[in-house]
Structure 1
Amino acid sequence: MDSASASPPHAADATENCMKLALLAFSLLLGLAIAQSVHAEAAPASPVENDFVIEFDDGDEDDDGASAVEEAAPPSKPPAPIAKEAPFKALPGRWVGDGRIGIKDGKPELVKCRATYFVNDAGDELRQNIRCASAGGKVEIKSNVVAREGKVTGTWEELMYNMRGDMAGEVTERGFRIKVAGDGLNANMDVIVVNDRQIVEIQFFNSSLRGLMLILKKG
């Protein structure tokens, strides 16, 4: 092969690291977004952790190429205000979501996530197990989040790449506004509740990523 046409090793490494950070931020957003399912049906009993097994398709799209982002319809009525004293109350169970990551000088990439959530009786403490996959890679996140008087704080750990960090923010009238920081990651996140679905948007700083949008629902 012509050496002039081959990509330098550092370029491939940069692309892989870019997707790794994007997936990490995506999965953290997923955990915060689904906590705002104020219109969801009554949540089932919390499942046991060792029952959480997921098979991934490495980010391949469904046969029709559609995603939840593309299928999302405008809300028929305005969302109800968020209960700041127990924002995680409707969360226990399994959730799924998909979205697209925008990359500078590149094409958007589809990402899919599945998660299991465990919440205390008061609805203000959340423990989450999250797995996400795209064509560019996979991540597995475990985190603990606490909500007190409208403020959200927590820690996260990524098991596959041995990354960790903190998150902090606030419960807003329509969802969450969160800042996530850690090993190589700096981003702001907004979560908006739209009836029985959630819209999640992320803004990356000092990154080759443009941003991310996610639509998720209980599944």
Structure 2
Amino acid sequence: MGLQLVSRAAVDGKRPVSRASRASEFFAKARRLTFAAVAFFLTAFAASTSYAQSSAFAGMAGTWSGPGTVMLDDGSSERIRCRATYKVNGPTMEMVLTCASDAYRFNLQAAVVAAGGEVSGTWSETSRNVGGSIQGRGANGSFQVVAQAAGFGASIALKTAGNKQHIAMRADSQFRAANITLSK
């Protein structure tokens, strides 16, 4: 058998190839192919992660909760507990924020879209049956918007950093202000 490989190699001008060296070559190619596949998937995953993080609403998706205070037009303030849920899909976000104390409650819902640093959308406060538009600026989890409706206006600042979020609202109605700190 060895003589046949040597004579065949002499005729072809190539080195003789044994089964062991063919198997070794096969496994080397398989390792390179596996490495290339792993590198491809890691690159694709990293690209998709950086795309997701580039969204204006990156890091906001999910459920958040925490304490806050609300100030009413008579100057009184109350402690409140809040829960927010954000559904993020690329440049769009839906939000539900519910806050309550023993005597006060509000349910704020919003649907917004971000493009080029501008944020716009709609909002409603379901317990008082009022709603309107949202306009403002923001990116990377930090937003300054104005919510308006007939006879109502409020400025809202929202800042997200990691698993913490701060919301500050100022309004020109019975509800004067709210400061809320949420955690994920």
TM-score (structure 1 length as normaliser): 0.52
Separation in structure 2 between the aligned mates of residue 100 and residue 87 of structure 1, nearest angstrom: 27
CA separation of 1:84/1:180 partners in 2, compared to 1, >3 Å: closer, same or farther?
farther
Q: Which residue of 1 aligns with 2:86?
A: 117
CA separation of 1:183/1:96 partners in 2, compared to 1, >3 Å: closer, same or farther?
farther
SS in 2 for 1:109: strand
Residue 140 in 1 paired to residue 95 in 2? Answer: no
Q: Which has the higher contact order (CA 8 A, sep 6+)?
A: 1
Cα deviations by residue, 1:120-154 (Å, 9 ceiling, x for unpaired) = 1xx31012233221222333333211000111001
Residue 161 in 1 paired to residue 128 in 2? Answer: yes
CA separation of 1:157/1:199 partners in 2, compared to 1, >3 Å: closer, same or farther?
closer
Residue 90 of structure 1: which of 59, 66, 90 is its match? 59
Q: Which residue of 2 aligns with 1:180?
A: 147
8 Å contact kept, 1:167–1:178? yes
Q: How many residues align?
A: 133
Q: Which residue of 2 aligns with 1:108?
A: 77
SS in 1 for 2:110: strand
- Please identify, of 143-152 and 127-136, the stretch whose mean Cα deviation from structure 2 is larger: 127-136
Considering fraction of residues, name the structure with more strand.
Answer: 2
8 Å contact kept, 2:67–2:79? yes
SS in 2 for 1:160: coil
Separation in structure 2 between the aligned mates of residue 170 and residue 125 of structure 1, nearest angstrom: 14
**One-letter amino acid of the structure 1 residue matched with residue 107 of structure 2:** E
Cα deviations by residue, 1:154-202 (Å, 9 ceiling, x for unpaired) = 1012333321111110016771111111143211122234553222222
CA separation of 1:117/1:196 partners in 2, compared to 1, >3 Å: closer, same or farther?
closer
8 Å contact kept, 2:58–2:140? no
CA separation of 1:180/1:100 partners in 2, compared to 1, >3 Å: closer, same or farther?
same
Q: Which runs of 5+ in 1 are unaligned?
A: 1-82
What root-mean-square deviation, in Å, do the aligned CA atoms of Structure 1 and Structure 2 show? 2.7
Q: Which residue of 1 aligns with 2:27?
A: none
SS in 2 for 1:166: strand
- Please identify, of 148-157 and 93-102, the stretch whose mean Cα deviation from structure 2 is larger: 93-102
**One-letter amino acid of the structure 2 residue matched with residue 157 of structure 1:** S
Rg larger in 1 or in 2? 2
CA separation of 1:140/1:204 partners in 2, compared to 1, >3 Å: closer, same or farther?
closer
Separation in structure 2 between the aligned mates of residue 84 and residue 93 of structure 1, nearest angstrom: 15
CA separation of 1:92/1:156 partners in 2, compared to 1, >3 Å: closer, same or farther?
same
8 Å contact kept, 2:143–2:159? yes
CA separation of 1:190/1:129 partners in 2, compared to 1, >3 Å: closer, same or farther?
closer
Correspondence list, 1:19-38, <5 A: none
Separation in structure 2 between the aligned mates of residue 161 and residue 208 of structure 1, nearest angstrom: 12
Residue 179 of structure 2: which of 213, 216, 219 is its match? 213
